[in-house]
Amino acid sequence: MTVGAGTTGGRALRWAVVVLVGALLVGVPAAIAARPGSAQADPDELRDRIAASADVPWTGYAEARAGLALPRIPALSDVTTLFSGVTRLRGWYAAPDRARTDVLTPVGERDRYTTPRGQAVWDYGAELLTLVAADPVVRLPRPDDLLPPALARRLLAGTAASDPATALPSRRVAGVDAAGVRVTVADPETTVGALDVWADPATGLPVAVEVRARGVADPLISTAFGELEQGPPDPAALEPRRGPGAGVTRSPTSDLFGVLGRGDGASLPDRIAGRDREPPEEDFPALGQYGTTLGQLVAVPLPADLAATLLGGIDRAGAGRTLPVEGQGAALETPLLTLAVVRSNDGGRAWVLAGLVPDAAIDAGAADLLAGGAA
């Protein structure tokens, strides 16, 4: 039973119905999004409103679909699953530091709370509340990143002001007559070809998003609200609570990159694949962020045992590409996202390298990591 606002029995029943209906009608949000609307907005102005919509509160239910078809790899299964199927989400959002996202599954749910004090994760199956001090800004994707407002703002922030914005036909999404904008990404250093966003033209709140890879007609990631109410959510729903007898634990971070990023960053060069390293976060010196656009690369040093596990998992999956480097390297590739593991021949140095970038950037980044940097 999930612990939160309202009567727990009625709330659990309501969410069980949501999950059951979602399982039977997985195409509903897409069908809702396909209904024509009549809203109109200047595409550049709509883009600006979307970027400034972080202060718009809301409560809603959304479904996200990702067709990257990544194989399950140990230590990265949460990420590969997230980008290879349907994720059902219920969210409450008051402000960037006051939010909650529940991931709904047929067997339970996992709730993430964001508060001014940090984050908390309630695991229904484990009956465990984990209090998290902080996750890094550069981290592995997680379910709340696929909510329409979060996905739209995060990806649009990586585009250039010169990337053209064009109007899309309006859509009726979760009761919102939404105007649409397509931002076509010109940067050849990223695999992202276009971002399509539909938003409330009055508030700028994104209600549906489609992400297209360069040269691929159909969206590889899409997300849309099926239910939405704009306005402040119930404050009680934003307070982390646990059930009777449930355990509580504390963790400095809930993210694998966050755990690894707290280590030694000496093996991270100042520049790879033509991208300069951004100043590291104070608590995560071993997180390497190279670039700030959609074409950025992220590199994180790996301990030897984890590198061996990941390389073995990629090999057993039979879906990896061997990197042309002086060392060992394998990459999981999709038309949009690439994740690679690189290790020196002596096994003494290893990294995970990821980005929405073409093969050439991954290969160059891997070679520069092994060489200790790029000119």
Q: What is the pLDDT of residue 16?
A: 33
Higher pLDDT, 1 or 171: 171
User: How do residues 174-207 score in pLDDT, each as one tens digit?
Assistant: 999 999 999 999 999 999 999 999 999 999 999 9
Beta bridge partners of 108: 105
Question: What ranges in the chain are assigned the alpha helix state H?
Answer: 8-24, 28-34, 43-51, 77-82, 148-156, 256-261, 304-317, 359-371
Q: Topology of 256-371 in CATH? A: Protein Transport Mog1p; Chain A (3.40.1000)
Higher pLDDT, 161 or 258: 161
Q: What is the pLDDT of residue 36?
A: 65
Higher pLDDT, 84 or 279: 279
Q: Give the rounded percent of residues in the chain with a pLDDT score beyond 70.
A: 88
Break the chain into its structural domains and give their ranges: 8-251, 256-371
> Architecture of 8-251 per CATH?
Clam (2.50)
pTM, two decimal places? 0.86
For 239-278, letters b (16+ CB in 10 Å) and e give ebbeeeebeeeebebbbbbbbbbbbebebbbeebbbbebe
pLDDT over threshold 70, residue 9: no
| Pairing label, strands 192-199, 165-173 | unpaired
Most confident of 66-80, 159-173, 316-330: 159-173
pLDDT over threshold 90, residue 76: no
Q: How far apart are CA 309 and CA 346, in angstroms?
A: 16
